[in-house]
Amino acid sequence: MINLKYQRLEQRLGYSFNDQRQLQLALTHRSHGASNNERLEFLGDSILNFLIGEALFLRLDEAREGQMSRLRSQLVRGDTLAELAREFELGECLVLGEGELKSGGHRRDSILADAVEAIIGAIYLESGLDTCRERVLAWYGDRLDAISLDTSAKDPKSRLQEYLQAQRQPLPEYRVVEVGGEGHAQVFTIECHVAIAKQSTQAQASSRREAEKQAAAAMLKLLKL
């Protein structure tokens, strides 16, 4: 039986599974039971690292090993994968245990990132490496196009602070808007405000520090930096 929610997700992914049960498995967190996406996540993580490494190798002729390793780390880290997951609106499709449902697990970066890796693993098993490569490169298109050897390794908070200091502007202010979830699995909503921006930015993550980084990244994007 076709699940319309999964069908809409497949449209956003640009890939339709022959058996939607494989997509459901990729979206099933370990909190739901023994049948979950951990093995697919393991496989997808390996494939993603290879495909992004290959893409950087082919794009950056002058790059040294250390430079490519740094850039790959930026592209495959959890917060980048969580961004992709949110672009796919993947959270609404996750299959979670009752505890994770109550604590906002569908918004948690680590769970979202793991699900993206699991989907990559599932696509590989069903359609092979070439299809996997085509999808991953499509998902990462804008990010790969923006990469260069000059891409900063500094986190968004540091970049935003240094930019404002160079402009002789007040430092950014980070405010906790909401703390949801239970004590062991909290979700922080953080707002970032800077004097030179007409609006604030917000982000959610499972730690205050990570939420601040994501809010800073959104502010950098808003300021077109």
Output the known binding site for Mg(2+): 41, 114, 117
Q: Known catalytic residue: 45? A: yes
Q: Which of 79, 109, 117, 212 is catalytic?
A: 117
Residue 98 known to be catalytic: no
Positions at the binding site: 41, 114, 117
Asked if 8 contacts 95 with a C-beta cutoff of 8 angstroms, the reply is no
- With CA atoms as reference, report the closest residue to 147 among 84, 218, 81, 73: 73
DSSP string, 67-124: HHHHHHHHHHSHHHHHHHHHHTT-GGG-B--HHHHHTTGGG-HHHHHHHHHHHHHHHH
Cα 125 from Cα 128, distance rounded (Å):
6
Q: Which two tokens stand for residue 187?
A: 């979700």
The catalytic site residues sit at 45, 117
